[in-house]
Amino acid sequence: MASDSESNNDGGGLFEGYQPLAGAFDEFCAMDGSPRPEAVRVVERLDDLGRRAFMERQRLADGSFLKAGVTFSVYSDRGGVERIFPFDLVPRIVDGAAWDRLEAGLIQRVTALNLFLQDMYGEQRILAEGKVPREIALGSSGYLEAMHGIQPPHGVYIHVCGVDLVRDPNGEFLVLEDNARSPSGVSYVLENRTMMKRILPRVFSESRVRSVDAYPARLLSAFNELAPEPRERPRVVVLSPGPFNSAYFEHSFLARRMGCDLVLPDDLFVHDDEVFVKTTHGPTRVDVIYRRIDDAFLDPEVFRPDSMLGVRGLIRAYRAGNVTIANAFGNGVCDDKAIYPYVPEMIRFYMSEEPIVQQVPTLICAEQDALEQVLADLGNYVVKAVDASGGYGMLVGPTSTKEQIEEFRARLKENPRGYIAQPLIELSTCPTWTSSGLSPRRVDLRPYVITGRETWVLPGGLTRVALREGSYVVNSSQGGGSKDTWVLEPDSQEDSP
């Protein structure tokens, strides 16, 4: 529909007067405001478009998301409200060569995390050799006694991993945290891409962007490969908590794109250690469950005897090897923020390799020295609860008030095991459309890593952007938006052999 083919420099060039933020790495521009080599082409195309046409297209995109129902729910006192995830039309770009290195690092990291889980629910060699402190690992709220002795098909625990990355002022990608339980957001990656192709076809087609279309097929292949026993056509279902869940759109989207059924806990039941779904033709056996429900609500037999939620007997069926559950139970022990500092050690221990991608230096408040160091200088740290996510339960010292800092000090003293502290990383910025034209806003990046018989990384991932000026918090629940992430192939002269 939208044609951006003619140059229509109405209202001035988009990048005119764009000023990067001092002290942060800008994804598009060097400090003097000139575009980075990989950004030149995109900047030219967007400049050609002009401000007025750009604004018109932004409006079109917002309307389309609403019409298509690409929304998430925000919880408030008055119940769920549907909103679109604010979408910024300026893409985030990643140079192809930098991406290749990152991809190798992500595969390495997820492999190590998976080996760690195998070990934790097996021999626990890494604890025996003192590479990870026993009390931190076994004390993690994500550690699940019931997983001991269960061998998931092909030893895969983390079928889908979302690794949150940030970029420091030198442009170095750093891992900020791992999401090995049920990372969300990939539907926005695919929807954002569809939108960009429709709204800015010319900018897109001239930029040689790596495709993200393969994701659903890759995911389904991984599930098929890991079905309990060779089945001609394993029955795969997506298990969602239901339409009131904030990520329901995504659950439904993935089911649709994989061509499998979306089920809620009540649709499933266990009989003789096998899992069945209730259909209009009677019960039908289920082979693989891609679950988007937290451990605690999966099986009342094991987790919460008082809970009405979940599928009674699911863990028994899992233990009997009759169903594959993705991601596995008990993964919370590997993405616990207090375990995170030991991931580089895991890579060395299990793989005898050095980490390819670095991570943020982290102080574990459970350790007395570290706690004192943090308390002495609380205003300069970012403090996070080890078992929280979504931007909740954290203190960003440098942008907080005295009262907030003091309140957090009390919480920290009361439960040091519950927190870690990191220096504030000056997150990289990306040009983002605001009421006063393009302005630098901070971004992070969540690539998605799928593991079946082998491990595959979706090129790009979800770029989240802190839309409020000066903000470091990119979560959708807290004023964040998203961008399409473009991994760019090198220019064509390098194509020929």
State residue 445 phi and psi, 5-degree precision: -150, 130
CB of 300 to another protein, least distance (A): 16
**Contact with another protein (CB under 8 A) among 212, 226, 262, 323:** 262
* Subset of residues 107 to 166 that bind another protein, contact rule: CB under 8 A: none
79 versus 149: smaller Cβ distance to another protein: 79
75 binds another protein (CB under 8 A): no
* Subset of residues 38 to 67 that bind another protein, contact rule: CB under 8 A: 66-67
Residue 445's nearest CA partner among 39, 116, 105 is: 105
Rounded to whole angstroms, how far apart are CA atoms 164 and 363? 18
Residues 401-440, one symbol each (x = binds another protein by CB under 8 A, - = not), give ----------------------------------------
* Span of 15-23, 242-250, 338-346, 486-494 interacting with another protein by CB under 8 A: 242-250
**Contact with another protein (CB under 8 A) among 47, 88, 164, 274:** 274
**Contact with another protein (CB under 8 A) among 138, 264, 296, 351:** 264
Which residues have C-beta within 8 Å of that of residue 486, sequence separation ≥ 6? 42, 91, 92, 93, 94, 207, 209, 210, 460
CB of 452 to another protein, least distance (A): 22
231 binds another protein (CB under 8 A): no
252 binds another protein (CB under 8 A): yes
CB of 180 to another protein, least distance (A): 25
Query: Can you list the positions of beta strands (E) in 318-376?
Result: 324-326, 358-359, 363-364
- Secondary-structure percent of the chain, ordered helix, strand, coil, rounded to 5: 35, 25, 40
- Applying CB under 8 A, the site for another protein has a residue count of 32
293 binds another protein (CB under 8 A): no
Rounded to whole angstroms, how far apart are CA atoms 430 and 239? 35
User: Edge-to-edge strand order for the sheet containing 363-364?
Assistant: 363-364, 419-423, 381-385, 394-396
Tell me if the bond preceding 224 is cis, omega within 30° of 0. Answer: no
Q: What crossing angle do the helices spanning 248-258 and 186-199 adopt, rounded to 10°?
A: 80
Which residues have C-beta within 8 Å of that of residue 453, sequence separation ≥ 6? 154, 222, 225, 226
188 versus 249: smaller Cβ distance to another protein: 249
Using CB atoms within 10 Å of the CB of residue 170, give its burial: 0 to 12 exposed, 13 to 18 middle, 19+ buried: exposed
* Span of 27-35, 181-189, 258-266, 367-375 interacting with another protein by CB under 8 A: 258-266
Residue 80's nearest CA partner among 495, 477, 493, 496 is: 477
Supply angle C-alpha 435, 438, 440, rounded to 5: 110
CB of 282 to another protein, least distance (A): 5
80 binds another protein (CB under 8 A): no
* Span of 179-187, 203-211, 281-289, 328-336 interacting with another protein by CB under 8 A: 281-289
CB of 285 to another protein, least distance (A): 6
Rounded to whole angstroms, how far apart are CA atoms 205 and 313? 51
Point out which residues bind another protein (CB under 8 A).
66-69, 242-243, 248-249, 252-253, 255-256, 261-264, 266-267, 269, 271-272, 274, 276-285
